Amino acid sequence: MHDGPHAHHGGITMTQFSQIEGGVLVAQEFVAAANASGIKPEGLDTMLLHSRLPASAAATITSNRFRAAPTFVTERHVADGSARTVIATSGNANAATGAQGMANAEMMASLAALETHVPVSEALVCSTGRIGIQLPMDRVEAGIRACGKALSRSSAHEAARAIMTTDTFPKEVSVEFEVGGRRVGLGAICKGAGMICPNMATMLCFICTDLAISPAALNSALGCAVARSFNCISVDGDMSTNDTVIALANGASDAPMIATPNDPGYAAFAEALGFVTQDLAKKIARDGEGSSKFVIVEVTGAASYEQAHAVARAVTKYNLVKTCIWGEDFNWGRVAAAIGASGMDVDPATVQIAIGGLTAFAAGEPVEYDLYQAGTIMKSDEIEITIDLGVGQQSATCWSCDLTPTFVELNAH
């Protein structure tokens, strides 16, 4: 095992873990299957994920007031900290679908539980896609049954593809690390490209590990990881009805049990989980609908993490910043406007703004800069905006993308 990168990424320092192949099934005793059930016009659209062993479970779920039916089923079933099966469909969100939609989500849980031989309370449900249309339950049922017969250790990549909607590429990552001298696997898949502005975006993420960890400790680690990853991205500033992150831990690694965040091994797990969730969050931002540039906003010198995060989020969500990045305009004034609109107590006299390492504003006034260098910076496909608030030691990083005419075309219908 070699050291992971020693860089800071939004407050998480990576140390002892290795990135490896394997995707969501890198963890032992997890199986998956995918099927083209006809929910979408073409391609894989049904994914079944299952732990052969009992598993601790934790989830974070959208705070959108029009939450989709599956999110209520998942929230109810994960409440006891135990789950073994996840069923997910893409192409139809099963949101704003009333009592029938809720019954359909519950039926999905029942069918998935039947196929994987677990109590229905151990089955979690996710859907993503168009809002306000009832699921074609005959196709959904056939797809779940087909997945039940096809569960295997070799379907990780198919599982990643089955949850895609407007994504242009599947998003998966896996790592290994050690707890008590035993190898632990941690893998995840996610989808998301549009409607990305999570608190808790449209985004789904499924995380599997063979670590033995209590539901309370897993929930703690997941909450921290999500706060500094998926809640740090913005594609179009819209919060989805279906956003869900689920983590399952089945203990198959034989590593020592982690009961609380104070136990040995918790820090290693939290760091690995932080890397996995940030890697996937950045992939979502890079895959923003119609986007051409990846945007990193780093805020330093803040009085608190909350202040740094709020300012970074404000800049990533500010459409006039996103459009000028698409237009390759070194418009630092829009960054300043976004900072000022963040709701945080910020004093322009202490703020410094740089784009691509080129300082444009400091000590309350503009700084002269080379126009040619500024133009060259904006032609890059990766733009880094750095903001020093000048009042403390805390920092936060958020990720976004530009806002393009293609995005408007994709979302006009």
- The one-digit pLDDT tens for each residue of the chain (413 residues) are 434 443 333 334 445 899 999 999 999 999 999 999 999 999 999 999 999 999 999 999 988 888 999 999 999 999 999 999 999 999 999 999 999 999 999 999 999 999 999 999 999 999 998 889 999 999 999 999 999 999 999 999 999 999 998 788 899 999 999 999 999 999 999 998 654 444 433 689 999 999 999 999 999 999 999 999 988 887 544 456 788 999 999 999 999 999 999 999 999 999 999 999 999 999 988 887 778 899 999 999 999 999 999 999 999 999 999 999 999 999 999 999 999 999 999 999 999 999 999 999 999 999 999 999 999 999 999 999 999 999 999 999 999 888 888 888 877 76
Strand partners, 185: 176
One domain for residues 334 and 258: no
Q: Which of 400, 128, 163, 171 has the alpha carbon at shortest distance from 289?
A: 400
Position 202 in a domain: yes
Domain interval for residue 363: 294-410
Parallel, antiparallel, or unpaired: how do β-strands 56-61 and 123-130 relate? unpaired
**Domain-embedded: residue 1:** no
Asked whether residue 305 falls in the same domain as residue 251, the answer is no
Q: Is the same domain home to 161 and 304?
A: no
CB atoms under 10 Å from CB of 345, counted, come to 9
Q: How many helices (H) and strands (E) does the chain have?
A: 11, 19
The residue out of 286, 306, 334 marking a domain boundary is 286
Cα 388 to Cα 390: distance, rounded to the nearest angstrom: 5
Q: Residue 321's domain is classified under what CATH number?
A: 3.10.20.340
Q: Please indicate, yes or no, whether residues 221 and 170 belong to a single structural domain of this protein.
A: yes
From the list 71, 202, 244, 404, the catalytic residue is 202
User: Is 30 among the domain residues?
Assistant: yes
* CATH code for the domain in which residue 72 is found: 3.60.70.12
The three-state secondary structure class of 254 is: coil
Q: Are residues 161 and 13 in the same domain?
A: yes
The answer to whether residues 164 and 36 belong to one domain is yes
263 shares a domain with 305:
no
Whether residue 239 sits in one domain with residue 147: yes
Residue 2 lies in a domain: no
Which of 286, 309, 339 corresponds to the end of one domain? Answer: 286
- CB burial of residue 340 (10 Å; 0-12, 13-18, 19+): middle
Task: Answer with the one of 286, 311, 335 that is the final residue of a domain.
Answer: 286
In a domain, 115, yes or no: yes
Positive or negative: CA dihedral 89, 93, 95, 99 = negative
Q: How many domains does the chain contain in total?
A: 2
Residue 287 and residue 290: Cα distance in Å, rounded?
A: 8
Tell whether 190 is covered by a domain: yes
- 3 in a structural domain: no
- The rounded distance, in Å, linking the Cα atoms of 53 and 197 is 34
One domain for residues 250 and 334 = no
386 catalytically annotated: no
Query: Does one domain contain both 273 and 318?
Result: no
Same domain, 205 and 255: yes
Angle, helices 215-227/266-286, rounded to nearest 10 degrees? 40
Q: Is position 339 within any domain?
A: yes
Go through 163-178 and write b for each residue having 16 or more CB atoms within 10 A of its CB, e for each that does not: bbbbbeebbbbbbbbb
> Are 267 and 316 in the same domain?
no
What is the rounded (10 degree) CA torsion for 78, 185, 126, 291?
Answer: 140
Give CA–CA dist 263/39, Å, rounded.
45
